[in-house]
Structure 1
Amino acid sequence: MTATIEAPSTEPTGRFWLANYPDGMAGDIAPLAHPSIGALVESCCAQYADRPAFTSMGKTLSFRDFEAASKRIAVWLQAKGLEKGDRVAVMMPNILQNPVIIFGILRAGLVVVNVNPLYTPRELEHQLKDAGAKALFVLENFASTVAQVVSRTSVKHVVVTTMGDMLGLKGLIVNLVVRKVKKLVPAWSLPGHIPFKQVMAEGAHGALKPVTVAPGDTAFLQYTGGTTGVSKGATLTHANLLSNMEQIKLWIEPIFHVKQRPDQLVFICALPLYHIFALTVNGLMGIALGGHNMLIANPRDIPAFVKELGKYRVHIFPGLNTLFNALMNNPDFAKLDLSGLLLTLGGGMAVQRPVAERWQKTTGCAIIEGYGLSETSPVATANRFDRAEFTGTIGLPLPSTEIAIRDDDGNTLALGGVGEICIRGPQVMAGYWQRPDETAKVMTPDGFFRSGDIGFMTPDGFTKIVDRKKDMILVSGFNVFPNEVEEVAMSLAGVLECAAIGVPDEHSGEAVKLFVVKKDEGLTEADVKAHCAANLTNYKRPRFIEFRTELPKSNVGKILRKDLRG
């Protein structure tokens, strides 16, 4: 872990990377202007009232509409007796209801628990129980999953919405197509659930009770595996998220020294808002800058996505390597006029140089790579937005952020030394929800978060990732932990032993491969895949199964995944 690369080996002194910041860029963010995300939303909605804020499936909410709708959610939640600090889960894709609900929860002084709507019942039950969620908002497409586990959780209020609930008359047609034509809504039964439209109607009556929310109060429980297997909630405060938003706002400003600032920035929100990258970059920064977010409910439907892209002059496009690659493999994408693109921001997983080069050639806009984790709200480093180049690094530390490369004993290495990337700054989480043991493993005594990623820093202050400390697999920007996959596979009667690793995949960066030793000779690949499909959401499922008579082990009997990676 402390091997070195060919680079000048000098001791890092202070925040030496500030010398490579854009001219005039502050090294630190200013004190936060708002004590809470709710206060920010209210301020921006008043400032930008007549501007469009969110558009989905042809329907647009202005900032005024958005403020009124999110207030109804907040009023209803308070009327149900939820009190400051109570957790409320949100389980839906990028539709208008999503930001309305998220920011309504925050305005009521409550805590948002983002849930991947594709979770299996097992995964959902763990998260709802761990968070102690008292209410849940879910799109009807996923209500059948909720129905299987909700009675075993602390959830008292389940609100079910339909795809068309905020689309006006068009919503009736959308719901018909979703339910009857595409058959995307499995049968479900949730006695006592409340329809979303009823919540909006009831929330229209009554005032929003003022709640004193301090910067250090919890805003989100953002679930992640952390650097080990069991899913746990990164406790993100209002200050964490607002700080990261301010850091990105500062970082984006130099773009407008080289490209003209439009009257209103148009963002593409293709990454799900339950993912921290989209939540901060699209949700928070979009609101703070008075931007217009185009919500894409199903970015996997590339032809439909390309049609949406053709309707607007897009300026800011956060995405993943896999998404950029998929778009460029669609023949109609090259026909789009993307001359308005100011920033393509790549995160969540490594951007591959061939993809970056092709994107720049196709769109005229470079992919600027950044880096972060759920635990850092998420952005910790980024390449300069004002330079049209792909560097192959994760860039410089953002303002008010420090990066240290440390060895296993916690010593900071000389420049060029390869070690663990450690992060300190106002965007670093308060800790893991109710897991002081896990928090202690990743936080150093001097306040750095140990990322689990291995890299080195150049003399210019740019960081390059070379490996991961743990066995974590990265599939399309989502963490997959071998322990979880293996635990699920081992619950299948015919499996004696198993081990999961990541293998290269041109579409998703990595894919899960599972090695299995049979207990029952009749066990088939189809059996294993079907069992995993029932218990793991799509990106965690093994794409490849290989049966072996034995697995490599250490002298104490530990399965050696590194030997399987070969």
Structure 2
Amino acid sequence: MPFTGKPWLNRYPADVPAEIDADKFSSLMHMFEQGVKDFANAPAYTNFGKTLSYQELDTLSRDFAAYLQNSLQLKVGDRIALMMPNLLQYPVCLFGALRAGLVVVNVNPLYTARELRHQLADAQTDTIVIVDNFAHTLTEVLQDTPIKNVILTRMGDHLGLVKGTVLNLVVKYIKKLIPAYALPNAIHYQTLMREGKNLSYTRPELKGDSLAFLQYTGGTTGRSKGAMLSHRNMLANVEQALGVYQPVLSIGEEKVVTALPLYHVFALTVNGLLFFRIGAHNLLITNPRDIPSFVRELKGFDFSCITGVNTLFNVLINNDEFQKLDFGSLKLTIGGGMAVQRVVAERWQSITGSRLLEGYGLTECSPLVTVCPYDMEGYNGSIGLPVCSTDVRLVDDNDQVITLTHTPGEMEVKGPQVMSGYWLAEALDANNPDSPFHEGWVRTGDIATMDEQGFFTIVDRKKDMILVSGFNVFPNEIEQVAMQHPSVLEAAAVGVPQADHGEIVKLVVVLKPGTQLDEKALIAHCREYLTAYKVPKVIEFRDELPKTNVGKILRRELRDEAS
């Protein structure tokens, strides 16, 4: 059926606006200042049983910003890397850095030395905040990066003298989670915070187009790069999320569970910024893989909102203790990062009484693009409707706009949440094949259809990206690591669908003549250079790889075989 305009607007619930004000706040700093004023005495973040109020967060982040400005002499626009799991230090450092006018570079703390070296060097980052559990990785690469200032923190640094000391000792000496490292000039976080109290803070002048984040992603065109997300990009996406979810939320009353790491853009925007915007009480889960401890924390929290990926929801609904929880307060469950499966969504709703609302996004869009409306009765297999103030179109292989429903095409997005471009790649234009833009629209690399109501459904992936538990994995990176092994002649990485993880990485390898290599040894080699979720789970050895007549490896053929 032909369509015109934006059919999804007619499907919006009556209390969801078609447009939002992307300029309600002049910067994230402005939003923060309003939040700590409006909710000063309310609890903001809880972690390991310790709670910070909005007022305490205001004071601590000011002290952190003052130290950055004075002692480190950092200037507006300088980059600062945050390399830590969900701890109270994260919001303190996040908002402190933004209040100092810095650009935040989120870093996965599980990165290998090779991955960390690339990101710090590419972002031209000279300051990093890192938890000592991961300091050994930084030790390996420090001399190969622009880093001048290392701020070292410990897991228990915000928990008080007794509890914090006990946790730090347990982590170091009993659980032995801190490998040896050598960072002799590191600034200790607690020392920094004490000194920051006595330093003056100067509020910088920031604009909406000021850069706020370099959020690293595989990108829509294949190689790892930093998406440049401005203050206005992030603020717009917060307002867009608020527009579609506010009808079921109560300002100053919500309690949200943050199990996804805040360095991931989905959790950053939704949990870290949206729920801050409405004065919610945020429970930070440091290690969501420890399901028994995770569930114990949920028992005493009476949460009203939770976000996650399909794999997390699947583990929880299969946990006996989770099933016994009281879900009387739960009103909003948001799934993102990867496709939500019907069996998981339906069982979640059966156990909790809460619909699992799937959303879709990409780092280049801050990230929300579409979400399932709050009034849906249940799972419908779609990724929902475009969020407020967002245009989505589908184009065919000839870049012609599709005007028929149920006709597949590549999704392209336009809206105030769309990045300005990739870091150090500003010169890319629409005629460059590496450009993420087409006629002012950002390409997603995903093939979708749209129905008569404006619901979009992903049907295929145009690019070769592999999606593992909500994280982008690009085959080029896996293949390059595999090729570093002296026995490997050729390699091709593809994603294999799996019920629990979305996809797993499969590596198909051709060995050099006369050499020998088994699966175990090659996986061990990959582990040296790749974060765990990128490491191939399946390796297949072949005599040759399928190729085009010009010699290009046909990954799609391998992927189709594996599926």
Range of TM-score over shorter length: over 0.9
Per-residue CA deviations over 1:423-481 (Å, capped at 9, x if unaligned) read 11000011100113667444445421110000011111110100100111000000000
For 1:395 and 1:109, locate their aligned partners in 2 and report how far apart those are by CA, in whole Å.
35
Q: Secondary structure at the match of 2:490?
A: strand
Deviation at 1:398, TM superposition (A): 0.7
Tell me if the contact between 1:431 and 1:439 (Cα under 8 Å) persists in the aligned partners.
Answer: no
How far 1:409 moved relative to its partner?
A: 2.7
Residue in 1 that maps onto 2:365: 376
Q: Does 1:294 align with 2:294?
A: no
Aligned to 2:209, which of 216, 222, 235? Answer: 216
1:54 aligns with 2:45: yes
Tell me the alpha carbon deviations over residues 196-226 of structure 1, each in whole angstroms, 9 at most, x when there is no partner. Answer: 0011011111221121000001000000011
Q: Counterpart of 1:424 in structure 2: which amino acid?
A: K
Supply the distance in 2 between the matched residues of 1:445 and 1:301 (Cα, whole angstroms): 43
Of 505, 517, 520, the match for 1:523: 517
- 1:50-449 paired onto structure 2 within 5 Å: 50-79=41-70, 80-168=72-160, 169-255=162-248, 261=250, 264-414=253-403, 415-436=405-426, 440=430, 441-444=434-437, 446-449=439-442
Gaps of 5+ in 1: 1-8
Q: Normalization by structure 1: what TM-score?
A: 0.96
For 1:14 and 1:351, locate their aligned partners in 2 and report how far apart those are by CA, in whole Å.
28
The 8 Å contact of residues 255 and 386 in structure 1, kept in 2 or not, is answered as no
CA RMSD of aligned residues (A): 1.3
Look up the match of 1:5.
none
What amino acid maps onto 1:428 in structure 2? Answer: V
Comparing 246-255 and 137-146, the one that deviates more: 246-255
Match of residue 450, structure 1, among 443, 447, 451: 443
Report the Cα distance in structure 1 between the residues aligned to 2:553 and 2:48, rounded to whole angstroms: 49
What is the rounded CA distance, in whole Å, between the counterparts of 2:453 and 2:461 in structure 1? 23
Change (3 A) 1:324 1:274: same
Given candidates 534, 545, 562, the residue that maps to 2:539 is: 545
Distance in 1, matches of 2:518 and 2:13, equals: 57
Alpha-carbon distance in 2 for matches of 1:157, 1:355: 45
Please list every run of 5 or more consecutive structure 2 residues that lacks an aligned counterpart in the other structure: none
Q: Which moved more, 1:386-395 or 1:348-357?
A: 386-395
CA gap 1:46/1:99 in 2 versus in 1, 3 angstroms: same
Question: Hey, what's the Cα distance between the residues in 1 that align with 2:7 and 2:94?
Answer: 39
Residues matched between the structures, number: 553
Q: Structure 1 CA distance, aligned partners of 2:289 and 2:437? A: 39
CA contact 2:220–2:436 (8 Å) conserved in 1: no
Match of 1:506 in 2: 499
Letter in 1 for 2:408: V
1:535 aligns with 2:525: no
Aligned to 2:104, what secondary structure does the other structure show?
strand
- Give the match's secondary structure for 1:542: coil
Contact 1:90 1:114 in 2 (8 A): yes
Q: Which moved more, 1:87-96 or 1:429-438?
A: 429-438
Which secondary structure does the structure 1 equivalent of 2:294 belong to? helix
Q: Which residue of 452, 463, 471 corresponds with 1:470?
A: 463
| % identical equivalent positions | 51
Please say if residues 22 and 254 of structure 1, whose CA atoms lie closer than 8 Å, have aligned partners that are also in contact: no
Contact 2:65 2:96 in 1 (8 A): yes
Structure 1 counterpart of 2:534, which letter?
K
The answer as to 2:29 corresponding to 1:38 is: yes
Distance 2:537 2:44 in 1: 39
